[in-house]
Structure 1
């Protein structure tokens, strides 16, 4: 199963990342979505899309007419995948210095944990569960350009690759 992992779009999505969404089975958004158009662009290629609510997913920060949508996003979720469970939360509930330990205590049975909030791309497969932060797939604080992760989940193992894309075109 191929999984695209994104976070921190804040209402904008790089077109190159939207294209990658058309090549996967599942898209996981780690919060701070910012607009329904982001979720629609990620789903346009036919993949199932799941997302959690981030600290900026508030009625006041979404476009007019979409104020009720952020409340429909869960604060956390767990996705059963071939070979294990992928846990997802935005990560803002824990302070940065202790965030990784907090996440690992919160989801000890997961194979990997997706979080956002920092806008910093991170793949930590040294500890268990793995910690995966796709960075920012939108326009705000990308630290080198919009980024995402591609996860290949098989019953016998998982592989993850980081992707940084050009910010010259936007899907929304």
Structure 2
């Protein structure tokens, strides 16, 4: 299975991001969405799990949770916008991957048997950071992540 990871669109869903997410079996948006139209377009590609970011304060975003857990294949994913607000122990709760956003900085690391992935920002450019996204590949061998620069 292929899971597309995107975050910090801030109302801008670039064609490069849509092309990258095409064919995904599931999509996780790590918050700072920017508008309901972003979610509609992503949900048209694949089943969607989404969390609210600190900038998602308009009435349309009130029903979106601050954190969400979803099982994709044999792997439990936990999404939260700001990793500093993580209050669960992922390993103790059976979570294999934590997806976050907020920093706009793409990053991937493993700690205590849990994979932490921040796809970076796919929306407006912030400072000199790349426009990026990520993907997870889940199979019998486990899960692996790949960060992708959409626009350097």
TM-score under structure 1 length normalisation: 0.79
Structure 2: gaps of 5 or more residues: none
* CA shift for structure 1 position 20: 2.0
Instruction: Measure the CA separation in 2 of the matches of 1:162 and 1:122.
Output: 7
* Structure with higher helix content: 1
CA contact (8 A) 2:104 2:129 kept: no
**Higher radius of gyration, 1 or 2:** 1
Greater relative contact order (Cα < 8 A, sep 6+): 1
Distance 1:83 1:42, change over 3 A: same
* CA shift for structure 1 position 107: 2.2
Instruction: Measure the CA separation in 1 of the matches of 2:40 and 2:74.
Output: 28
Q: Is 1:13 matched with 2:13?
A: yes
Query: 1:133-160 deviations in whole A, cap 9, x for unaligned?
Result: 0000101417443101111112431121
Matched residue, 2:57 = 58
CA contact (8 A) 1:29 1:51 kept: yes
After the TM superposition, which parts of structure 1 deviate over 2 Å for at least 4 consecutive aligned residues? 105-109, 125-128, 142-145
Q: How does 1:70-85 map to 2 (within 5 A)?
A: 70-85=61-76
Instruction: Measure the CA separation in 2 of the matches of 1:43 and 1:21.
Output: 11
* CA shift for structure 1 position 118: 0.7
Q: Is 1:124 matched with 2:121?
A: no
CA contact (8 A) 1:21 1:43 kept: no
Distance 1:113 1:19, change over 3 A: same
TM-score under structure 2 length normalisation: 0.88
Q: Residue 85 of structure 1 aligns to a residue in which SS?
A: strand
Q: How does 1:90-169 map to 2 (within 5 A)?
A: 90-91=81-82, 93-94=84-85, 105-108=88-91, 109-125=94-110, 127-141=112-126, 143-166=128-151
Instruction: Measure the CA separation in 2 of the matches of 1:142 and 1:9.
Output: 15
Distance 1:142 1:133, change over 3 A: farther
Pairwise CA RMSD of aligned residues? 2.0
* Structure with higher strand content: 2
